[in-house]
Amino acid sequence: MGIRIPLAELALVENMLNTIPFMKSVTRAEIQELAYQLTRRTFRKDEIIIKQGEPGTLFYIISKGKVKVVKEKFFKKTQLAELGAGSFFGEMALIEDFPRTATIVGEEAGEMYTLSHEAFESVLLNNPQVKELIMHEAEDRKKRNQALEA
């Protein structure tokens, strides 16, 4: 369960958002709006954050700790990536309206921020430059994942 970000924390969250590459195309006002809509939550080592095949409802940004991205196919598990602070995930299911393509598991305890599908669309996908950068990142991830699965 997450908690809304206290006002005192908003400046820290805005700084974190500014470190994400696609956020460079977002206006300061959009970043402030985005920061206000984020929810902070913690995760534990070995906690399943996203389960492959489930519907996607949230976008995630890691602020502390690490997660691993695992794909299951025919009873075989393949680790596709390890993500740490400043990394994001969950965009593919939100963009394409498909079920989650991989399972995300806490590699170590940490903290992340989540953004609802509605806020993700209204703030990020309504900005054409940001949408293009996110789509490009999603395509790159798909290609890397397919190469690892082969």
pLDDT tens series, the chain, 150 aa: 555 666 667 777 877 887 777 777 777 788 777 888 888 999 999 999 999 999 999 999 999 999 999 999 888 898 999 999 888 898 888 877 788 989 999 999 999 999 898 888 887 777 788 778 877 877 887 787 677 666
The full length of the chain comes to: 150
The single-letter DSSP state of residue 141 is H
d(CA 54, CA 14) in angstroms, rounded, equals 30
93 burial level (CB within 10 Å; 0-12, 13-18, 19+): buried
The single-letter DSSP state of residue 124 is I
Residue with tokens 């953004």: 115
Give the structural domain span for 32. 3-149
CATH number of the domain encompassing residue 19: 2.60.120.10
Question: Structure pTM?
Answer: 0.82
pLDDT at 109: 97
Number of domains in the chain: 1
